[in-house]
Structure 1
Amino acid sequence: MTDPEFDFRGPEVAAAQAGDWRAESPIGLVVLRYAEAQELLRDPRLRQSGENYLAMNGVIDGPLYDWYLPMIINQDGEDHRRLRGLVSKAFTLRMVNNLRPGVRAAAERLADRLAAAGAWDFVEEYADRLPLAVMSELLGIPAEDHEIFRRRSTDIGLVFSLAHGGDIRARVETAVTELHAYVDGLMADKRAHPGSDLVSALVAMEPDDEHLSLAELRNFIVALVFAAHDATLRQLAHAMVAFAEHPEQWTVLARRPQLLDKAVEEVMRWAPTTTTVHRFATADFDFRSVRLTAGTAVTVAVVPAQRDPAVFRDGHRFDITAPREAPLLQFGAGPHHCLGAVLARAELGEALRALTARFGPPVVTDRITWRPPMGISGPAVLPLRFDPRR
């Protein structure tokens, strides 16, 4: 799994899943089947443990350590409930719904730009630009500051790919340092000149015994940067690869736009941008006749789990019309379920709406360059064209 060329969709992974719910790897126990993954993600004897994750990858200090350890996803119990409860007051469904017209307008505007072009890198020309525009509206980031986010939110998202080595740690640390400095200035500006954006809402919270400290608020905003930008752009690119490999499904969606919500779920089930979810045992216990000792690393392999034929009928087939009842794993489970899941679905849905209304199925025109397979993965470069509507 630590090989940069590893593919979770490969036949050896499917064969391993058919043989057992688990496998051994250089990073510990890997969960391959859906039922066991869902149960373990909800098991209170397992926790995120940012400290264990970083130590496993040789990070014991520095800017990456100082940012990642206090992140909300690494908190449990009362600390997690306090942070999530306070953030949820501002990050509401109403705010997402208020963003929806802007998401649709941006998706359509970018689709219009593509109509006059030939073949291009879909990541650069569309997938990167849509969530950047949405994130800028969400956080109140002025257009002249887009470039720092275009460069650094992509790098900070590599925090979940540390096991691949190379220059990944250095890139993440540079991104953390630059984004911390920027967010400090952004918060100060929003306190002085509040707007209708999320940062203004967060810094304007009435102080009380449980209020967010400035350090906690900065940490959350920096984490939101890659969740709202990098993870979403990779999912948009994944969607185009899936439809390029299954053009008949694109045609179905164009003819039956009422399937849009199901298409969004199927894209994320079939090609999740979050390929691995990490947990660590906090105590010794037995699970499915396997002894897990305290500190054991458990990694959910989201791709094979979300194709598990025991849960998803014809799970190894991409089909936007198929009934799929089981919830997705890539957004986590239980108290750590991703706050931004609704916004991610909205962006993917509006992009598919705009593109299927204008174009025929996407066609890959050259070699795809991929991000590392673990963590937030997806195309880094996606040469693409759209065939005319027939």
Structure 2
Amino acid sequence: MDALFEPWSPAFVADPYPAYERLRADGRVHWFEPTRQWLVPHYADVSALLRDRRLGRTYLHRFSHEEFGRTAPPPEHEPFHTLNDNGILDLEAPDHTRIRRLVTKAFTPRTVAALEPTVRRLAAELVAGLKKDGGGDLLADIAEPLPVAVIAEMLGIPEPDRYLLRPWSADICGMFELNPSEETARKAVTASVEFSAYLRTLIAQRRTDPGEDLISALIAAYDEGDRLSEQEMISTCVLLLNAGHEATVNTTANGWWTLFRHPEQLAALRADHALLPTAVEELMRFDTPLQMFERWVLDDIEIGGTVVPRGAELALLFGSANRDPERFDDPDRLDLSRTDNPHITFGAGIHFCLGAPLARIELAASFGELLREAPTMRLAGEPEWKPGYVIRGVHALPVEL
């Protein structure tokens, strides 16, 4: 098993899909000793387990660490866990239900739709800069700044402060990798402290001087006597930044890398921009930005004849599920016109990505603008993959026009 699944191997990170094919052939669930997790590679299982209430993103709503057979995180990591554990991605009912309901009151479809002109304007400005320079790094020049600027605009973060967001997010997200180092934890804690302090000040300002931004809407959100606590607001804002741009950044860069390696599909897209909606979905399926989503087993479950006991952790392999031939016809073929495409990139169940509509708007805007304004864009060098496996992307994607 260890030879099949090698999340710390640069070669595996660069192309995990052949290993996934072998994992699927070898069974429905596999024990992986280095991380002490059960790997689940099949689409049907991943989809069902995302909705299974015998699993949880946390176990603390039912058990203490000791009761669950787990060790509490070290006290020095507490600022990270306070921040992370109060966000809806890592909560279960009833807290998840209450907070998601309140956040949804602020983060409405109308709010997202109203952002579309801003997203298009920002994408146009960024692509114009790339054109002016005759090329550059698609990751640093387009993929990263667009979603960060959009989230900053939503939250009402003043422009001079926005440069802080991406480094904070990168440091916090380091903790979502497998077996993070103590140095990674130290950086995540520092970023958690700094980002939380920054947002606490901003929330205090919005309480006395509300605006049209999402922070003001979160303060005002009220339902059945409930309001968000300050910590829940802070955790929600950080989650919106982290989840709201990490996947979009990597879908953009990984997606263009995929297109450059499939010139006939890129030519078809350039010839017919009406393919863009299905193309975006197919790029998210074909090279999934979030490769793994972890869940705790709260009550014994059986998967393919294997009993997975309470206290275990499941690693749901999104990248493998999205290439499962039992669900997708010819899954290793990139087909930008694919219509039967229920990919699992945004998750499923109660933790389905709240920001999925916004991500789709951002991806359509940046891909669309590049197709229109940079129709001859080509790769200027082979990309190198970052070491992270869970949130998977390249260091840079050099292009020339």
TM-score by length of 2: 0.89
Distance 2:182 2:139 in 1: 23
What is the rounded CA distance, in whole Å, between the counterparts of 1:92 and 1:66 in structure 2?
A: 26
Q: The residue matched to 1:217 in structure 2 has which SS?
A: helix
Q: Give the Cα–Cα distance (whole angstroms) in 2 for the partners of residues 4 and 118 of structure 1.
A: 34
Distance 1:383 1:369, change over 3 A: same
The amino acid that maps onto 2:88 is: I
Distance 1:50 1:3, change over 3 A: farther
Seen in structure 2, the aligned counterparts of structure 1 residues 4 and 196 have a Cα distance that, compared at 3 Å, is farther
Instruction: Please give the alpha-carbon distance, in whole angstroms, between the structure 2 residues aligned to 1:56 and 1:3.
Output: 24
What displacement does 1:87 show? 0.6
Match of 1:33 among 9, 32, 42: 42
Among residues 249, 255, 262, which one is paired with 2:265 in the alignment?
249
Moved more, 149-158 or 307-316: 149-158
Per-residue CA deviations over 1:294-315 (Å, capped at 9, x if unaligned) read: 0111101111110111111010
**Conserved? CA contact 2:252–2:363, under 8 Å:** yes
1:18 aligns with 2:25: yes
The one-letter code matched in structure 1 to 2:266 is W
SS at match of 1:24: strand
- Could you say which residue in structure 1 is the equivalent of 2:8? 3
Question: Partner residue of 2:314?
Answer: 298
Secondary structure of the 2:112 match is helix
Letter in structure 1 aligned against 2:8: D
Higher mean alpha-carbon deviation, 370-379 vs 92-101, is at 370-379
RMSD: 2.1
- Does the CA contact (< 8 Å) of 1:162 and 1:168 recur in 2? no
Q: Which moved more, 1:345-354 or 1:11-20?
A: 11-20
In structure 2, what residue type is equivalent to 1:161? E
8 Å contact kept, 1:50–1:68: no
The SS at the match of 1:277 is strand
- Tell me the distance in 1 between the aligned counterparts of 2:258 and 2:186: 32
Of stretches 278-287 and 363-372 in structure 1, the one that deviates more from structure 2 is 363-372
Mapped pair 1:101 → 2:117: yes
| In 2, Cα distance between equivalents of 1:84 and 1:200 | 16
* Closer/same/farther in 2, CA of residues 198 and 249 from structure 1, 3 Å limit: same
- Confirm or deny: 8 A CA contact 1:240 1:362 kept in the other structure: no
The two structures have a TM-score, normalised by structure 1, of 0.92
Give the alignment of 1:105-116 within 5 angstroms: 105-116=121-132
Q: Give the paired residue count.
A: 383
CA contact (8 A) 2:83 2:231 kept: no
Which stretch of structure 1 is more off in the superposition, 112-121 or 5-14?
5-14
Following TM superposition, by how much is the alpha carbon of 1:56 offset from its aligned partner in structure 2, in angstroms? 7.3
2:152 matched to 1:136?
yes
Partner of residue 59, structure 1: 73
Q: Whole-Å Cα distance in 1 between the matches of residues 300 and 139 of structure 2? A: 44
| 1:332 partner SS | coil
The residue correspondences of 1:219-258 to structure 2 (distance < 5 A) are 219-258=235-274
Compute the displacement of 1:285 (Å): 2.7
Report the CA distance between 1:60 and its aligned residue.
3.6
Once the two structures are TM-superposed, the CA of residue 50 in structure 1 deviates from its matched residue by 6.9
Once the two structures are TM-superposed, the CA of residue 340 in structure 1 deviates from its matched residue by: 0.5
Among 335, 339, 353, the alignment partner of 2:354 is: 339
In the alignment, does 2:194 pair up with 1:185? no
1:261 maps to 277
| Aligned match for 2:381, one of 342, 345, 366 | 366
The residue matched to 2:177 in structure 1 has which SS?
helix
Q: Which amino acid in structure 1 is aligned with residue 73 of structure 2? A: V
For residues 126-165 of structure 1, what are the structure 2 equivalents within 5 Å? 126-165=142-181
User: Unaligned regions of 5+ residues in structure 2, if any?
Assistant: 1-5
Q: Percent identity?
A: 32
Compared CA separation, residues 46 and 183, structure 1 to 2 (3 A): same
Q: For the structure 1 residues 338 and 143, does the alpha-carbon distance in structure 2 shift closer, same or farther, using more than 3 Å as the test?
A: same
Give the secondary-structure state (helix, strand or coil) at the position aligned to 1:163: coil
Counterpart of 2:297 (choices 281, 303, 307) is: 281
Cα distance, 1:195–1:267 mapped onto 2, change above 3 Å: same
SS at match of 1:384: strand
Deviation of 1:205 (Å):
3.0
* Counterparts of 1:230 and 1:12, CA distance in 2: 24
Q: Say which SS state the counterpart of residue 77 (structure 1) adopts.
A: coil
Could you list the runs of 5+ residues in structure 1 that have no partner in the other structure?
none
Per-residue CA deviations over 1:60-87 (Å, capped at 9, x if unaligned) read 4321122222221222122111111011
18-27 or 215-224, which deviates more: 18-27
Q: In structure 2, the residue corresponding to 1:263 is in which secondary structure?
A: helix
> CA contact under 8 A between 1:161 and 1:372: conserved in structure 2?
no
